[in-house]
Structure 1
Amino acid sequence: MLLNDALHWRYAAKRMNGEQVPEETLERIMDAARLAPSSFGLHPWSLVHVRSQALRTQLHEEAIPQPQVIEGSDLLVFAVHDRDFKTQVDEHIANMARTRGQDERELDGFRNMVKGVMDQKGSHEACLEWAARQAYIGMGVALSAAALEKVDASPMEGFYPDKLDEALGLREKELKSVVIMALGYRDSERDPGAERAKVRRDREDFVLTIE
């Protein structure tokens, strides 16, 4: 299937039928998120996979009052790293050197440049906002990957982040939830959106070409 065909097929399912997403399919979707681009390749966020039905029921009651959470197969939480960003840069440089067989000292120019960008942001909160934008890139890639797999994916901001973070113990892991995505299969009989035409602006109104 071509990506554009998959994107025409997908929509944000509001009701799901409880069918489980196969493990190998789920792994491909999560790996697509891992492979998503991010500024400097830093990936200042992690993917939290919630499969437990009991835990998803708890989250539905306490933090995410939306049916996809309990009717779906899995829940993905995109969470930024809520810790010193310069330390994250050092860890990234070490990983780059290890992966590419380089001496870390060869990457000092890149290290200093990225740390300079962190300084320019001015505060930890500004860095967190930047990290959240990187997480959204990952979510977009995961949404596209799910569509190619014919798995319904519903992105959601309508939740209580503090309650979700507490229930999942994310603070202790130095993580902060940004956006979530339920994965599963649409229940076309209970979800009126399943048969509705996709509404988007016309290409002529959407794309501004400057020559």
Structure 2
Amino acid sequence: MDILSLLNWRHASKRMNGAKVPAEKVDTILESIRLSASSMGLQPYKVLVISNPELLEKIRPLANNQPQITEASHLLIFAAWSKVTEERVQAYISNMAAVRKVPESSFDVLKGYGLHYASQSAEQNFNWTSRQAYIALGTAMVAAASLEVDSTPMEGFNGAAVDELLGLEELGLRSVAFLTLGYRDTANDWLASLPKVRTPKHELFIEDGQLVY
């Protein structure tokens, strides 16, 4: 299918059938996350990849018992940095210098941008790092659709409880979004057979101050 057909096919699956997504497809989705756009390339988040049934059973009640949690093949938890620190910025700069085989001083201006974020409050940091995580989430959803793997983005969970269960605070992280990966249960997913509803083009797009269509 072409990209628009795939995006029309994609929906937030309300029920999944428990079938496992092949490892190579999961790896492709994860690699798409790794390659996703990010401000400065900093990627101020981590992605937890969970397929252990016992752990998924513990997470489900923390997510309003949404059935996809335990019916999915994998659960991805996007966890943003709770604070941008000088250490994290320096690690990023060191890695970039090593990959590109140039002196770290080549990135002094970029490092300054990172340190600017580090100087801000934790609340300001988390607002920014969370938005960066959502860019990666969107990339993952499109990648999954390209492989005809269903996905369901979720915000309806107890973040503090999830963070405690997974020890995220000790890692300087806070959970911001879930993404289940699997295959739709067409018999029980009430949304699967319904036409996609989106805002019409003439209401959604504005070009040069004028409606496009």
TM-score range, shorter chain: over 0.9
Q: Is the Cα–Cα contact under 8 Å of residues 75 and 181 in structure 2 kept in the other structure?
A: yes
SS at match of 1:182: strand
Partner of 2:59: 59
Q: Please, which moves more after superposition, 61-70 or 191-200?
A: 61-70
SS at match of 2:207: coil
Distance 1:117 1:70 in 2: 37
Q: Is the Cα–Cα contact under 8 Å of residues 83 and 118 in structure 2 kept in the other structure?
A: no
1:82-111 superposed Cα distances (whole Å, 9 cap, x missing partner): 244332211111111000001111211221
Q: 1:139 aligns with which of 118, 132, 137?
A: 137
Partner of 2:76: 76
Distance 1:180 1:207 in 2: 29
SS at match of 2:135: helix
Alignment TM-score, normalising by the size of structure 2: 0.93
Cα offset, 1:64, TM superposition: 4.5
Superposed, 1:18-167 pairs within 5 Å as: 18-119=18-119, 122-167=120-165
Distance 1:62 1:160 in 2: 5
Q: Is the Cα–Cα contact under 8 Å of residues 36 and 136 in structure 2 kept in the other structure?
A: yes
Alignment TM-score, normalising by the size of structure 1: 0.94
Distance 2:133 2:45 in 1: 6
Q: Give the letter for the 2:3 counterpart.
A: L
Distance 1:88 1:126 in 2: 16
Cα offset, 1:2, TM superposition: 2.0
Q: Report runs of 4+ in structure 1 exceeding 6 Å deviation.
A: none
Count of residues paired in the alignment: 209
Distance 1:10 1:63 in 2: 22
SS at match of 2:56: helix
Cα offset, 1:204, TM superposition: 1.4
Any stretches of 5+ residues in structure 1 without a counterpart? none
Partner of 2:169: 171
| Cα distance change, pair 161–206 in 1 and its aligned pair in 2 (3 A) | same
Partner of 2:204: 206
Distance 1:91 1:59 in 2: 31
Cα offset, 1:165, TM superposition: 1.2
Q: Please, which moves more after superposition, 33-42 or 77-86?
A: 77-86
Identity %: 38
Task: Note the aligned Cα RMSD (angstroms).
Answer: 1.4
SS at match of 1:195: coil
Q: Give the letter for the 2:163 counterpart.
A: D
Q: Please, which moves more after superposition, 57-66 or 130-139?
A: 57-66
Q: Give the letter for the 1:53 counterpart.
A: P
Q: Give the letter for the 1:129 counterpart.
A: N
